[in-house]
Amino acid sequence: MFLIALLGGYLIGSIPFGLLLTKAAGLGDIRKVGSGNIGATNVLRTGRKGLAAATLILDGLKGAVAVLLARYFLGDQDLVVGTAAVLGHLFPVWLGFRGGKGVATGLGVLLAAAWPVGLACCAVWLLAAKLLKMSSAAALTAFAAAPLFALVLSSADHALMALLIAILVFWRHEANIRRLLAGSEPRIGKTAK
Nearest residue to 44 (alpha-carbon basis) of 52, 36, 56: 52
Parent domain of 88: 2-182
For residue 192, being part of any structural domain is answered with no
Sign, CA dihedral 125-129-135-137, equals negative
Provide the number of structural domains found in the chain.
Answer: 1
Report the predicted TM-score, pTM, of the whole model to 2 decimal places: 0.92
Check: CB of residue 11 under 8 Å from CB of residue 89.
no
Measure the CA–CA gap between 76 and 89, rounded to whole angstroms: 22
For residue 117, being part of any structural domain is answered with yes
- Count of beta carbons in the 10 Å neighbourhood of residue 181: 9
For residue 92, being part of any structural domain is answered with yes
For residue 193, being part of any structural domain is answered with no
For residue 165, being part of any structural domain is answered with yes
Check: CB of residue 142 under 8 Å from CB of residue 162.
no
For residue 187, being part of any structural domain is answered with no
For residue 191, being part of any structural domain is answered with no
For residue 37, being part of any structural domain is answered with yes
Measure the CA–CA gap between 170 and 28, rounded to whole angstroms: 28
Each residue's pLDDT, cut to its tens digit, for the chain (193 residues) gives 778 889 999 999 999 999 999 999 998 888 988 778 899 888 988 888 999 999 999 999 999 999 999 999 887 788 899 999 999 999 999 999 999 999 999 999 999 999 999 999 999 999 999 999 998 999 999 999 999 999 999 999 999 999 999 999 999 999 999 999 999 888 875 654 4
pLDDT at 193: 45
DSSP SS3 for 47: coil
